[in-house]
C-alpha cells in the first residue's frame, strides 16, 4: 500500500478505537459489560448480529469457492440465510424470554447441573475452535502486506488492537464498533464486487466443473447442520439476551439473515468474476485480498483492509465475550451488579488461547470451521426439546448428546473430508440424535410431577 492507503487504514482503525473506548468508564457492572444492560433496539441488534456472523474466515472460504465453482457457490450464503431464518422462527423469542446469562441456563433448568456443565464444555470447546480459525484468517489477510513478519507477530498485533477496542467496554464497546464496522462493510463489500465485475463484465459464472467442486450433498448437509447448530450459538444467544424485547430479537435476526446472505453473496460473485478475468491465484482463499490489493483505487485499499480487519475483530471479540459470560454463568456465581473485572480477565484468557491455537493447529479454514460444529450439533435435540417438550428427560437429553458427539466424530474419522463426512453426519446423524433422545426419554421418563412443573 502507498502512504495514502496506510494513512487511511490507520485513520479508520483510530476511529474504531475511539468508538470502542468512548465512555468505557461508564461500564461498571457485570450485566452492562456482558449484556449492554439488555436494552438494544432493532438497529443496534441487527448491526451486531450481522457483524457477529460476518467473519473473514467464512468470507474468504466462501469467496474461494466462488472462484472455483462460480455462481453455484451462492448456495453457501443461502445456507446461512436458511439457518438464521430457522433461528428467528424457532428460538429467537424463546431465548429472549429466558433472558439468562448463558444459553446453557435452559439445560440447567430442564436437565440439571451435570448436563448443563457438559453442554457448556461442548460449546466452549467449539468456540475455541472457531476463534482459532478467525485468528488464522487475520494472518492470511495481512501477511501479504507485511511479508517480513511471521504470522505469530501479525496476529499478535491485530489481536492487541482488537482487545484495545473492546476489552474494557465489553459488549457495550463491541456493539459500538459493530455499528461502525457495519457501515464500512456496506461501502466496501459492494465496491469489491463492482471492481471485480468491471474486470470481466461479460464472463459466464456457470463453471462446468462446479458440481464436482461443490456437490449438492455437501450443500444440503451444511443447510441441516447450520439450522441445528445456530439455534445453540452462544454468541447469538448473548446478543439476543441484550435485546430490548422478544419482538426486537426476532425482527433483528430476520433482518440479519437477509443482510448476511447479501454480503457473503457479493464476496462469492466477486471472486467468480476474478476467475473470469483470467487472474490466477496460489490459493482460492486469496481472492478477496487480491481484489483489494490489485483492483481497488488508491485510498480505498486502506479503507478495505481496515474494514476486513473490523469484520474479523468484531466477530472475535463477540465470541470471546460470549465465552466469558458462559464461564461466569455455568461454572461461577452470577453477580449482575458486581464489577466487570471477571469478564475482562476471562476475555483476555480466551484471546490468548485463540492466538496460540490459530498459529499452531489451523490449516484449512473452512474445514476446521465445520469440524468445530460437532459438539454444537450434538446439543440440538436437547435444546429444542427443552423449549418445546415437557416429556423429554435428562437421560434422554444426555443420550442424544453422547450419540451426537460419537456419530459426528465417528463420521469424520471414518469418511474424512474427502469422503464427504458432513453428509453422513447431517443426514443420518441428526435424525439419530433426535431418535436416541426420544427413546432415552421413553426408557427413563420424567416423573409426572416434574413434567408438570417444567
Q: For residue 447, count other CB atoms closer than 10 A to its CB.
A: 9
Segment of 255-264, 316-325, 335-344 carrying the highest mean pLDDT: 255-264
Structure-block grid coordinates of residue 254: 430476520
Give percent of the chain above pLDDT 90: 34
Where exactly are the structural domains of the chain?
A: 3-366, 378-454
The yes-or-no verdict on residue 334 having pLDDT over 70 is no
Question: Rounded CA gap, 116 and 212, in Å?
Answer: 42
Residue 335, sorted as left (phi over 0), alpha (psi -120 to 50) or beta, turns out to be beta
Q: For residue 302, count other CB atoms closer than 10 A to its CB.
A: 24
What is the per-residue pLDDT for 337? Answer: 60
Comparing 212-226, 299-313, 363-377, 423-437, the range with the smallest average pLDDT is: 363-377
- The CA-based angle 398-399-402, given to 5 degrees, is 90
The yes-or-no verdict on residue 157 having pLDDT over 50 is yes
Range 402-422 average pLDDT: 86
**Residue 3 burial (CB < 10 Å; 0-12/13-18/19+)?**
exposed
- Write the DSSP string, 115-158: HHHHHHHHHHHHHHHHHHHHHHHHHHHHTTT-TTS-HHHHHHHH
The structural architecture, per CATH, of the domain 3-366 is Up-down Bundle (1.20)
Taking only the tens place, the pLDDT of each residue in 142-151 is 877 788 888 8
What is the per-residue pLDDT for 202? Answer: 75
Range 321-325 average pLDDT: 84
By three-state DSSP, how is residue 283 classified? coil
User: Please, which pLDDT band fits residue 339 given cuts at 50, 70 and 90?
Assistant: low
Range 253-257 average pLDDT: 96
Give percent of the chain above pLDDT 70: 92
The yes-or-no verdict on residue 253 having pLDDT over 60 is yes
What is the per-residue pLDDT for 419? Answer: 72
Comparing 4-8, 135-139, 368-372, 441-445, the range with the smallest average pLDDT is: 368-372
Range 322-329 average pLDDT: 84
Q: Which residue has the higher pLDDT, 30 or 247?
A: 247
Name residue 206's beta-bridge partners: 70
What is the per-residue pLDDT for 190? Answer: 95
Q: Which residue has the higher pLDDT, 141 or 44?
A: 44
Q: Which residue has the cell 449484556?
A: 35
Taking only the tens place, the pLDDT of each residue in 77-102 is 999 999 999 999 999 999 999 888 78
Question: Rounded CA gap, 352 and 342, in Å?
Answer: 16
The yes-or-no verdict on residue 366 having pLDDT over 60 is no
Range 369-393 average pLDDT: 86
Taking only the tens place, the pLDDT of each residue in 192-228 is 999 999 887 777 888 888 888 899 998 998 899 899 9
User: Please, which pLDDT band fits residue 449 given cuts at 50, 70 and 90?
Assistant: very low
The yes-or-no verdict on residue 240 having pLDDT over 80 is yes
Q: Which residue has the higher pLDDT, 14 or 451?
A: 14
Mean pLDDT, the chain, as a whole number? 86
Helix (DSSP H) and strand (DSSP E) numbers for the chain:
24, 0
Amino acid at each position: 500500500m502507498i502512504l495514502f492507503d496506510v494513512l487511511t487504514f490507520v485513520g479508520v482503525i483510530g476511529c474504531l478505537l475511539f468508538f470502542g473506548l468512548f465512555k468505557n468508564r461508564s461500564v461498571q457492572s457485570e450485566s452492562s459489560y456482558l449484556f449492554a444492560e439488555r436494552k438494544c433496539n432493532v438497529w443496534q441488534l441487527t448491526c451486531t448480529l450481522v457483524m457477529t456472523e460476518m467473519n473473514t474466515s467464512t468470507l474468504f472460504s466462501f469467496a474461494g469457492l466462488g472462484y472455483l465453482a462460480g455462481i453455484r457457490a451462492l448456495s453457501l450464503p443461502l445456507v446461512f440465510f436458511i439457518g438464521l431464518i430457522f433461528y428467528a422462527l424457532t428460538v429467537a423469542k424463546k431465548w429472549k424470554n429466558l433472558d439468562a446469562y448463558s444459553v446453557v441456563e435452559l439445560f440447567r433448568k430442564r436437565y440439571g447441573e451435570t448436563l448443563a456443565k457438559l453442554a457448556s464444555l461442548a460449546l466452549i470447546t467449539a468456540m475455541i475452535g472457531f476463534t482459532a480459525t478467525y485468528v488464522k484468517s487475520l494472518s492470511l489477510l495481512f501477511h501479504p502486506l507485511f511479508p517480513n513478519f511471521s504470522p505469530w507477530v501479525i496476529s499478535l498485533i491485530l489481536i492487541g488492537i482488537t482487545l484495545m477496542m473492546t476489552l474494557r467496554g465489553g459488549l457495550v464497546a463491541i456493539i459500538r464498533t459493530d455499528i461502525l464496522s457495519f457501515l464500512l462493510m456496506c461501502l466496501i463489500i459492494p465496491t469489491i464486487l463492482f471492481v471485480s465485475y468491471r474486470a470481466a463484465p461479460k464472463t459466464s459464472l456457470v463453471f462446468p466443473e462446479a458440481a464436482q467442486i461443490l456437490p449438492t450433498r455437501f450443500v444440503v448437509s451444511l443447510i441441516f447442520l447450520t439450522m441445528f447448530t445456530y439455534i445453540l450459538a452462544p454468541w447469538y444467544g448473548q446478543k439476543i439476551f441484550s435485546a430490548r424485547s422478544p419482538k426486537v430479537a426476532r425482527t433483528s435476526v430476520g433482518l440479519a439473515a437477509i443482510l448476511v446472505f447479501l454480503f457473503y453473496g457479493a464476496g462469492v460473485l466477486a471472486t467468480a468474476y476474478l476467475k473470469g478475468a483470467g487472474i490466477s491465484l496460489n490459493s482460492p482463499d486469496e481472492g478477496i485480498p487480491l481484489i483489494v490489493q490489485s483492483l481497488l483505487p488508491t485510498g480505498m485499499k486502506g479503507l478495505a483492509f481496515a474494514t476486513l480487519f473490523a469484520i474479523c475483530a468484531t466477530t472475535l471479540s463477540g465470541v470471546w465475550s460470549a465465552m466469558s459470560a458462559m464461564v461466569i454463568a455455568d461454572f461461577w456465581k452470577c453477580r449482575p451488579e458486581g464489577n466487570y473485572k471477571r469478564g475482562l480477565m476471562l476475555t483476555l484468557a480466551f484471546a490468548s488461547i485463540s492466538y496460540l491455537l490459530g498459529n499452531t493447529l489451523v490449516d484449512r479454514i473452512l474445514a476446521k470451521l465445520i469440524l468445530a460444529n460437532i459438539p454444537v450439533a450434538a446439543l440440538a435435540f436437547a435444546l429444542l426439546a427443552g423449549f418445546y417438550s415437557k416429556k423429554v428427560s435428562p437421560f434422554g437429553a444426555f443420550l442424544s448428546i453422547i450419540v451426537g458427539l460419537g456419530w459426528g466424530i465417528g463420521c469424520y474419522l471414518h469418511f474424512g473430508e474427502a469422503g464427504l463426512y458432513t453428509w453422513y453426519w447431517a443426514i443420518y446423524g441428526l435424525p439419530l440424535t433426535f431418535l436416541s433422545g426420544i427413546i432415552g426419554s421413553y426408557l427413563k421418563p420424567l416423573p409426572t410431577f416434574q413434567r408438570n412443573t417444567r
